[in-house]
Amino acid sequence: MLENKVVNVLMVTGVYFPEVNGATLQCMRLISLLGKKVNFSVLTTTRYKNIDKNIVNGVDIFRSYIGNRFVKFLQIIKILQVFSSKRIDIVHLHGFSSRSAFIILVSILFNKKIIIKMTSFGHDDPMSIKNKGKLFFYIFSLADVYIGVSPIFKKMYLKSDLDKYRYCQIPNGVDTNLFKPLSDKNKNRARFELGLPTDISLILVVGHFSIDKSVNHVLEAWLRLQELSSTGSGVVFIGNTNSDDFEVDQNIVDLMHSMSGVYLGKKIFFIEKTANIEKYYQSSDIYVLPSAREGLPNALLEAMSCALPVISTRLPGVTDWVVKHKDNGMTYSHGDIDILTSLLWELLRDGGLRKKIGLSARKTIETDFEILMTANKIYKVYENL
């Protein structure tokens, strides 16, 4: 242990509270758990000029606005100011992008240790970075430690010929005290507070409205069920539909709304954002992850922690080591709407099966993905650096 020593860590994320996504919540929980051992600060970006929260829960937040070329120049100045004025030992990057590449170069200039947490297979895993160009990969290769959240990252890391001793596998973690199942009585109360119907089974989907997230597949499968028979069910979609976000596809947004028709607001619900996402898990009966690619989706783990039976795409090295078919969840091949429809129907008509799979899912999270275990592993990395 580091006796009487506080490690100074600069977390670098895409967005931070009050803007919220899975990465934001993961960072906030780690900061909360390690706050006594580590002095954290956060460097992030925002698309909103009116966000003025410079301190969140006692942590300094440095925000730079994303905009035109002049604004990007101001971002560079902001980054340099942070490194010049703030005591930093370790720079912990969540994800890797062109902005991250610049931050790495600045970190080296100021003699800081660098951690890259790889978050999305097909985007910031080593082989994907290598395919984007030699210079980009060279800058990526300058980090001291690489954290992969699932086995596919280790596979790609070893394939890239980077130093195998700099790789750590640390999965995302879940606060099982926050993400926990409710009794039927409290579940109905939570639904009432959220303005959701209490007399039907609810399917939950969390994710941007994009091609990769494929949330429209769930809507298509659910609509097929309505044609076959009344299942007494509805669907809740939580995700950003703002096309200003590069991850959002306006065509998917328009398609989803046009498909919803008479069910909108009655059996189909769109939630743009929420500060209490755990309440939606706790109010639901089934969770679906229809994505084409992921890293290790926090939403999947959070749903399982709330004892929801999950239906997930079978993503090698990403979801297949977490979700075991018909044990702690269900799996299917991405884009196979027929199988997705069949799995939804199987779970909707069998409450006993839902409960059995949900309890197994909860046990999986408690055993392997508790946030405190993740935090301890992250601190060990800080300590070693």
How confident is the model over 301-341, as pLDDT tens digits?
Answer: 999 999 999 999 999 999 999 999 999 999 999 999 999 99
Q: How confident is the model at residue 2 (pLDDT cuts 50, 70, 90)?
A: very low
pLDDT confidence of residue 247: 76
**pLDDT tens digits for range 56-110:** 889 999 988 776 555 567 778 888 989 998 899 999 999 999 889 999 999 999 9
Angstrom distance (rounded) from CA 311 to CA 235: 14
Domains and CATH numbers, the chain: 7-173+370-384 (3.40.50.2000), 184-368 (3.40.50.2000)
- pTM of the model as a whole: 0.91
CA 221 vs. chain centroid, Å, equals 24
* pLDDT band at 151; cut points 50, 70, 90: very high
* CB < 8 Å & 24+ apart, contacts of 275-281: 275/18, 275/20, 277/20, 277/25, 277/206, 277/238, 277/302, 278/178, 278/179, 278/302, 278/306, 279/190, 279/193, 279/194, 280/194, 280/204, 280/206, 280/236, 280/238, 281/179, 281/204, 281/305, 281/306, 281/308
Q: Which tokens is 102 given?
A: 């610049």
Give whole-number Cα distances, 284 to 110, 199, 348, in Å. 48, 12, 12
Among residues 24, 97, 78, 86, the alpha carbon closest in space to that of 56 is found at: 24
Q: What is the DSSP letter of 169?
A: E
- Pairwise CA distance, residues 195 & 88, whole Å: 45
Mean pLDDT of 349-365: 97
Measured in residues, the chain has a length of 385
The pLDDT of residue 78 is: 83
Cα–Cα distance, 184 to 161 (Å, whole number) = 52
State how beta strands 55-56 and 59-65 pair.
antiparallel
Q: How many CB atoms lie within 10 A of CB 273?
A: 14
User: Can you read off the two tokens belonging to residue 167?
Assistant: 């790789």
